[in-house]
Amino acid sequence: MTGMDVLASVGGPGAWALLALAAFGAGVLNAIAGGGSFLTLPALVFTGVPPIAANATSALAVSPGYLGSMWGFRAELQALDPHLLRREALLASAGGVLGALLLLVTPAKVFSGLIPWLLLFATVLFALGPRIAGLGRRGAGGEAGGAEGATALARWRMPGLLLVSVYGGYFNGGLGILLMALYTLTGEGRIHTANALKNFNSFVLSILSVVAFALAGVIVWPQAVLMMACATLGGVAGARLAKRLPASWVRVLVIVTGVTMSVVFFQRT
């Protein structure tokens, strides 16, 4: 069944409108606080796209935002050692591809059962994100003895990046928070540099995992093209809205959305 057939079977124009609205909302959320996959993945599943194809298509739909975010931190990236960036890009690429391949060999029924747990995990990560970042900053030298702790954890930076990248290739939700936690806990005390590395590696692993999904033929392209366009528009609108809305309001909205989607999927399994 093609993507067009799926949409025609579950509501035609109404389904297209739902996907467009979800992608636009995801672009807005990602530009302000993150959590866009809480909208795109459920919308695709609700309109009849099989779970694994929905996850792959959702990853493609939100991927343009990573490029924009990376461009915004280009000064921080240019200041880093090129050898470090190449090494991290290689690990992120390998992890993204491994995660994508793991998704492709996961039975559809098993992944359907995992979706609510993955959504819930990503929601909890998002909710605890500020506390995780705070712990990481203290561990990186914000308290007495913190520098020694960060030095002890520094050797886990590259293995940790590989593991987080595998998760990101398999399921994108909460990826940014995991990367920020990794960098701060392993000694990167410059928050803008950590953010730049997060965006850089998110872009690299997402592109590679999306390529793997495309070669495997699991992306539903009509939905993907529509959602990429709407997510990009949402990102532009979100960047403007970010200057007006209190960040705490947006965080609450993302958490409520994540919990709601988790509950809905638990009821469906």
Query: pLDDT tens, 9-30?
Result: 455 788 999 999 999 988 888 7
Residue 144 has pLDDT above 70, yes or no: no
Give me the pLDDT at residue 222, please: 93
Query: pLDDT tens, 217-265?
Result: 999 999 999 999 998 888 888 767 766 777 677 778 778 888 888 888 8
Give me the pLDDT at residue 145, please: 45
Domain extent listing, the chain: 3-268
Three-state helix/strand/coil letters over the chain: CCHHHHHHHCCCHHHHHHHHHHHHHHHHHHHHCCCCHHHHHHHHHHCCCCHHHHHHHHHHHHCHHHHHHHHHCHHHHHCCCHHHHHHHHHHHHHHHHHHHHHHHHCCHHHHHHHHHHHHHHHHHHHHHHHHHHHHHHHHHHHCCCHHHHHHHHHCCHHHHHHHHHHHHHHCCCCHHHHHHHHHHHCCCCCHHHHHHHHHHHHHHHHHHHHHHHHHHCCCCHHHHHHHHHHHHHHHHHHHHHCCCCCHHHHHHHHHHHHHHHHHHHHHHC
Query: pLDDT tens, 148-190?
Result: 555 567 788 899 999 999 999 999 887 877 888 888 778 777 7
Whole-prediction pTM:
0.79
Residue 142 has pLDDT above 60, yes or no: no
